Structure 1
Amino acid sequence: MSVGVAVYRETSDGVDRQVSGTADRQISNTAGHQISDTVDRRIAIVVVASVVVLAATIRVGFAWAKGLLGSSFGFDESVYFLGAQHVVAGEFPYRDFVFVHPPGMLLALTPFAWLAELTTDSAAMAVAKVVFGLLGAACAGLVAWLLLRFGVVAALFGGGLYAVWSAAVWGETMLMMGPLLNVAMLVALLSVRRPGGAPVAGVVLGLALTVKLWAIVPLVVVGLWVLARHGWRYLVRFTGGAGVGVLVIVLPFFLMAPGRMIADVIGFQSGRPRSGPGLGERVFFFTGSLIGHGRLPNVVWLIVGAMAVVLVAAPVIVAVRGRVVPSRWDETVWWSVLASGVLAALAWAPSFYGHYTGFAAPALCLLAGYGLFVLRRNLSRVRVRQVVTGVAALGLAVLALAAGRVIAGGHVQPPDLAGAAAGHDCVWMHDPGALIEADVSGDQVERGCPMFVDRYAVAMGEVSVSDAEQTAALPGATGYQRAIVEQFRGSDVVLVSEIQLAELAPDTVAVLGAEFTRADDVGRYQRWVRTGG
């Protein structure tokens, strides 16, 4: 049986040769040789399953071993989960609370928000993290599947790289948008191998765009691919599919609050000041966390980045220099275009965090698998080829060990936090992750307790500053401070740390002292109980 890819196997003379006898179609690539479009299904299943198991072990197994599935929730993932709980309760982004992304992420988490009503908030979020980790493992499997046309070694290396590389792992051990974007991207790349897959590619990339605006990059690249390879008729189908994917998710929210949605999603992101690491440090985040950024001069990181960009662009350079028209470009050239576009977006982005590297991981891992295939194909000696394969396997092992270093949660919460929050109608906490871990977030949403979903988005909409300037700027965000005072007055307990107090204006702290009495400390939190309550 065939799975729609080609297979190369090493023969006795040490050269990768195409297995013949079962091909049902031939595809020309930029190197001029013909590639069979079939592979034995059993081989494909073993390869893909091996990669998926490895990726799942790292994403879910490591997080479980570190105790991070049901605790130590990060800020962003907690915002998304709390937002989903608001949606389940009938409160919607843009109309009822600030949310600076399209609504797709919140909708993706609503099943887990419903689960929280049957279990606990922290348990439901732990289940969600497992599912997102498995979704990341599926992405590794899709990378391997796409590379099977270049043989088992290429598929295992490219898929294995996605499985163990911190650039991909970082954002797939938390409830981040990366797994949703990447699975859509990879399904689209698989779909456009056939002209009839253009609408499917459009739909999944349209859905990805409802999660994060960055999906515009693969949407444009794949659209150009469809146009060049299949023509205008299929581009129309692709565009129609994308439109359906976007509208079915976005339109209901847009109709509820069109102005607020545009301001939150477009206005906030376009007006965001440049902050975070420079280009050199952004390159560092792609290197597998093997050594610290400060151990090498910044210029070294820039040189490494420039060399990597040249390698990424190599398939495009070869095609252009060979005067191959885009309609004849092999998919590897389009992978190169996609990777180049994504890297350009990451370099240009006003802010950058470690897990952003995951957006580039699919295309980079596909190119890595293809690159190993090309390298092995151009080595005639069997022993040298075996050494290259061994070095590649050793590299994956080293990256797998290093991946454990990037698997980390947010703040570790005090063990008695849930007990301190129990028995109160409305508990105010600065960190949404603390509300979830205390297992009170869902109940408080149902009760209508005043709270932010994303406090920083609210504040940054008022004082647009870099990340480094936030703590100093927040006391001057008068609207944000008034909202906190109103939330204090709707709560019967306030749990706040010294660091969080530094973000409050003097008048806000004065209200806390006048209307609440400091009762005791719960870990790093001061527990303030309403006076006379």
Structure 2
Amino acid sequence: MTDGGRPRRWWPWALAAVAVGAWVLRALPFFHRAGALGYVVNYDEGVYYAASALLWKGLLPYRDFLFVHPPGALLLGAPAAAVGAFGDPAVGFALARWLATGLGAVSTVLVGRLAMRAWGPVAGVVAALAYAAHPEVVTMERGPFLDPLLNLCGLGLANAWLLPSGRAPLPRRAAIAGVLAGVMASVKVLGGIWGAAALVARAPGPRWSLARRFVLAASFTVLALVGPLALGAPGAFVRDVLWFQSARPEDGVTSRWERLLEMTHERRRYALLLAAVGLCVALARAVRRSTREEAAPERFVATTYLLTVAAYLAAHSYWSNYNALLAGPESLLAGLGAAALVGFAAARARPVGAVALGLVLLGPLYSVREALRGAEIRPPEQVLQARYVRAQVPPDATLCGFEPGWGLLAGRLPPVLPGQPVPVDPYALMLQDALASGARFPDAAAAFASPDSQRRMLALLEQCDFTLLGARGQWQLSADSHRWFAANHARSVSPESPAVELWRRTPPRPGAATGSPP
């Protein structure tokens, strides 16, 4: 299946075809009369995009608004955010979604290229198929999330660090890999796992100077991307990024067993079976081969996968979409497992090998059904909500929302009011206020029941002309806060749908027991 140690010439065309299919699968829900804005909006993508757009307007994370991740994503997401900062935020948000689909297609090529160069054409095609159809990563690569950027950089790092040297000298490849590792750490703390796995796998050459070059490049990249913004408000940076993430209450799937089940969900059952075989092969080769050079790809992918799983089991919060960061190593392991199974079968009899090849190619395609099911989600209320806000809220009025993405769809960035927090991330803002009291909570719901979580948010709502409450607002406001809110705000409903609502701040009624926020 190889010629002179290199895969046959058909493999780039196979990877290109899979990458096109991956892009179509991600962009499919955007081919709708509402375009990219008609697909369901996620809380996190609204936070990341709004924060990046505000950065263009001169507001700095940590100093001017709360942001609970390192700032790398805000800087690297700047092109689409600039459109929203200086034009219509809805247009920029749509552009960011389209760009994310392109990142997914490139990552599909990088997965396939790495697996194909390391373990052969079967591994490459199966790994690319597994990544292209991975349901969670397909969903995340439809918006300005952290995961598309992390996967792209991580897979680029692996291609530069692990594959045999070509035209680029080894020192240059080590520096490129280090820069990409630094970018990942500047986007999300867990992104540092890929850099650690690269060092565990091997130094790409006999000299330790290459490992030092990798570490120095990564360190300088982190300093360049994080340093200027962190030094602008060092105390707030430590509080928002490090303390908050370590002290936050449990949320999402809290049971560790249920988290493990989500990471091995049946929607990816056949790709996961191949990945399980690949993990066993990778561990066996890593133990059996005497030098790091001989099993570097296996060491890297196994370390990345196992460390990420362990991090998710230990984390304070976990949702199933976190599995998007597992898609890269999981797909590489699936490719390795497929190559091992086909090689084992072909050694017995050529027809058996052909049957095995067909089966392993079909395995990842099982996940396409689940990915297509997600592409069907087009909530009409979301589009109607944006239209209603544009019609009802004057340009000079302030609009607050518990879902940042809803304001973006209506062409609104989070408001900046004197003396009030900027509601880029109301969820984290209220949780941090609860934690600042010194209390500890078993879960997020208990934290939102605390009076300390309510005060700053209610003071902000008191100054906003209009509010988008929604289900998230219903959850995050306590019973006392709900009573105050209802007494001081009037609800209006769109004639197009009873599910579309907007709350307008009203002057206190004479004699009404409204007073100040509780």
TM-score strictly above 0.5:
yes
Q: Bin the TM-score by the shorter chain.
A: 0.7 to 0.9
- Distance verdict in 2 for CA 1:157–1:505, change over 3 Å: closer
Report the AA paired with residue 213 of structure 2: R
Q: Deviations for 1:212-245, whole angstroms, at most 9, x for unmatched residues?
A: 0001211111123343754321111001110121
Distance 1:527 1:246 in 2: 43
Distance 2:135 2:93 in 1: 22
Q: Deviations for 1:376-400, whole angstroms, at most 9, x for unmatched residues?
A: 1222322212211222232233211
- Distance verdict in 2 for CA 1:391–1:447, change over 3 Å: farther
- Distance verdict in 2 for CA 1:346–1:281, change over 3 Å: same
Deviation at 1:176, TM superposition (A): 1.4
Distance 1:214 1:406 in 2: 26
Distance 1:319 1:519 in 2: 63
- Distance verdict in 2 for CA 1:368–1:307, change over 3 Å: closer
Is residue 2:49 matched to residue 1:81? yes
Equivalent residue for 1:203, pick from 166, 174, 179: 179
Is residue 2:515 matched to residue 1:531? no
Q: TM-score, normalised by structure 1?
A: 0.82
1:460 counterpart residue number: 431
1:474 counterpart residue number: 448
Report the AA paired with residue 483 of structure 1: R
Distance 1:289 1:405 in 2: 15
Q: 1:125-204 counterparts in 2 under 5 A?
A: 125-149=93-117, 150-192=119-161, 193=163, 194=165, 195-196=170-171, 197-204=173-180
- Distance verdict in 2 for CA 1:232–1:60, change over 3 Å: same
Report the AA paired with residue 146 of structure 2: M
Structure 2: runs of 5+ lacking an equivalent:
510-518
Distance 2:503 2:102 in 1: 38
Q: TM-score, normalised by structure 2?
A: 0.84
Distance 1:497 1:235 in 2: 50
Distance 1:181 1:532 in 2: 49
Q: Deviations for 1:255-297, whole angstroms, at most 9, x for unmatched residues?
A: 1011110111111111233443334433443456539xxxxxx
Contact map agreement 1:198 1:226 (CA 8 A) in 2? no
Report the AA paired with residue 481 of structure 1: Q
- Distance verdict in 2 for CA 1:471–1:424, change over 3 Å: farther
- Distance verdict in 2 for CA 1:123–1:482, change over 3 Å: same
Distance 1:345 1:203 in 2: 23
Structure 1: runs of 5+ lacking an equivalent:
1-8, 10-17, 21-35, 292-300
* Count, aligned residues: 485
**Tell me, what secondary structure is at the counterpart of 1:76?**
helix
Distance 2:440 2:330 in 1: 30
Is residue 2:75 matched to residue 1:107? yes
1:254 counterpart residue number: 230
**Tell me, what secondary structure is at the counterpart of 1:333?**
helix
Deviation at 1:68, TM superposition (A): 7.2
Contact map agreement 2:50 2:413 (CA 8 A) in 1? yes
Equivalent residue for 2:189, pick from 213, 217, 223: 213
2:513 counterpart residue number: none
Report the AA paired with residue 373 of structure 1: A
Q: 1:358-437 counterparts in 2 under 5 A?
A: 358-379=324-345, 380=347, 381-407=349-375, 412-413=381-382, 415=384, 416-437=388-409
Deviation at 1:309, TM superposition (A): 5.8
- Distance verdict in 2 for CA 1:263–1:225, change over 3 Å: same
**Tell me, what secondary structure is at the counterpart of 2:36?**
coil
Is residue 2:266 matched to residue 1:282? no
Higher alpha-carbon deviation: 173-182 or 136-145: 173-182
Distance 2:485 2:297 in 1: 61
Distance 2:276 2:12 in 1: 33
2:315 counterpart residue number: 349
- Distance verdict in 2 for CA 1:307–1:123, change over 3 Å: closer
Distance 2:261 2:33 in 1: 24
Distance 2:380 2:199 in 1: 42
**Tell me, what secondary structure is at the counterpart of 1:528?**
strand
Contact map agreement 1:428 1:451 (CA 8 A) in 2? no
Distance 1:485 1:276 in 2: 25
**Tell me, what secondary structure is at the counterpart of 2:476?**
coil
Contact map agreement 1:85 1:445 (CA 8 A) in 2? no
Distance 1:107 1:97 in 2: 15
**Tell me, what secondary structure is at the counterpart of 1:462?**
helix
**Tell me, what secondary structure is at the counterpart of 1:441?**
coil
Distance 2:79 2:393 in 1: 25
